[in-house]
Amino acid sequence: MDEISKRTFLAAGLAATLPLSAPSLEARAAESGRKLGYAILGLGYYATQIIMPRFAECEHSKLVALVSGTPEKLTKFGEQYGIPESHRYSYETFDRIADNPDVDIVYVITPNSLHRVFTERAAKAGKHVMCEKPMATTSADAEAMIAACKKAGRKLMIGYRSRFQAHNIEAIKLAREGAFGPVRTVTTDHGFTIGDPTQWRLKRALSGGGSLMDIGIYSLNAARYLTGEEPVAVNAMESTDRSDIRFKEVEDIISFQLLFPSGAVANCFSTYSTNFNRYRVSGPKGWVELEPATSYQGQTMRAQLNRQTGPREPAAQPKNQFSAQLDHLSECILTGREPIVPGEEGLKDMRLIEAVYRAAREGRTVKV
């Protein structure tokens, strides 16, 4: 199905169901042993190769439904994961998921500009939503997604998996504990060399922007979770070779600086034309660095603490980052808590992404 057809179907927004009433505390307690059912929407690389295999290690989550615009994928992955035909949906039939009590959560893993409409349709169908990063392509869309889930009485969580990854958890803990004194600087670089010039990541209508939307958001989000602060000012500079066929619509390199209220500064890189994935957070008494920092696996950590410099092993976490992320939303639903990375967290990044683009475009510091 082409982009236009998909969008037409998306706009259809067929079934309107009232939000279900919240379960009582007793019901939640009785349910606490059960696994919540996820529908995966958008059967691309991240969904099928990275996320779906990880349900096997989940305690509170299971894969129960699939939503796709490609019938062959519904057959292939339906058979592979034992999903009955009654639980396989196209984008046209998706709204009928409202009538499927096995589905508690819809996990939206499509190109960025489609996150909003699928989140709204899932909420309208009475389902909780996990949505991939970047949450949307504009802060206005992100606000609408939060409002839709609030109106439906359903939770919205953004797929910031690094918050569930052992090395990142350790780095945040050290920074918060003041292990190297107050945080003064964060340096963080994220990029990869993008290939196929026809892919959606390079089409503005689907991606919303270039490397910053896709990979630079890891630098931005890490600067925020390492300092534990919200930036008050942003500087940025962009460099894109517009004669390169890949970069007709979106940016390649964007470097940006964030100033935090404490006086800490983050220096961040984002690119589609070189490979790196790392950060260092430092204070007067030392630092901690991760490389790779936010990849799917293979994180390594070094630190300078108490005048000793060397490798450091983080405290073990009970689950890998993907299963922990999936289970976190299920646990929040079962216990009535808010996710640590709710829609509001995605919205903060969206507003800052807009500020970074504005700072680069206007060549000035943007106050936020």
- Residues of this chain that interact with ligand NDP (CB under 6 A) are 3, 6, 42-47, 68-70, 73, 109-112, 114, 132-133, 159, 161, 200, 206, 214
Closest approach, Cβ 20 to ligand NDP, in A, equals 27
Residue 160 annotated among the catalytic residues of the structure: no
**N-terminal to C-terminal alpha carbon distance within the chain:** 40
Cα 40 from Cα 106, distance rounded (Å): 6
Q: Give the residue with the Cβ less far from ligand NDP, 126 or 159.
A: 159
* DSSP string covering 7-27: HHHHHH-----PPPPPPPHHH
Q: Which two tokens stand for residue 364?
A: 């000035």
C-alpha 158/C-alpha 218 separation (Å) is: 13
Side chain identity at residue 114, one-letter code = L
| Cβ nearer to ligand NDP, comparing 43 with 174 | 43
Instruction: Quote the least distance from Cβ 15 to ligand NDP, whole Å.
Output: 19
User: How far is 335 from 28, CA to CA, in rounded Å?
Assistant: 7
User: Does residue 171 contact residue 291 with C-beta atoms inside 8 Å?
Assistant: no
Catalytic residue among 38, 81, 160, 218: 218
Q: Rounded to an integer, what is the distance from CA 179 to the centroid of its chain?
A: 28
Q: Shortest Cβ distance from residue 5 to ligand NDP (Å)? A: 9
In whole angstroms, give the CA distance from residue 288 to residue 290. Answer: 7
For residue 304, which amino acid is it? Q
Q: Which residue among the candidates 62, 133, 155, 348 is catalytic per the annotation?
A: 133
Q: Rounded to the nearest whole angstrom, what is the least distance from the CB of residue 206 to ligand NDP in the complex? A: 6
Reply yes or no on whether 225 is catalytic: no
**Closest separation between CB of residue 74 and ligand NDP, Å?**
8
Give residues with Cβ within 8 angstroms of 143, minimum separation 6: 347
Of 55, 57, 61, the closest CA to residue 35 belongs to 61
Residue with nearest beta carbon to ligand NDP: 44
The backbone region for 187, taken as left when phi is positive above 0, alpha when psi lies in -120 to 50, beta otherwise, is beta
Q: Looking at beta carbons only, is 106 or 265 nearer to ligand NDP?
A: 106
Beta strands in 85-146 (DSSP E): 88-89, 105-108, 128-131
C-alpha distance from residue 22 to each of 19, 96, 105, 341 (Å): 9, 21, 15, 21
Nearest to ligand NDP of 61, 282 (CB atom) = 61
Q: Which helix (H) or strand (E) holds 118?
A: helix 115-124
State the minimum distance, in angstroms, from the CB of residue 7 to ligand NDP: 7
Q: Three-state SS for 334?
A: helix
Measured N-to-C along each axis, helices 139-152 and 343-362 cross at an angle, to the nearest 10 degrees, of 170
CB of 192 to ligand NDP, least distance (A): 11
Query: What are the residue numbers of the active site?
Result: 133, 218
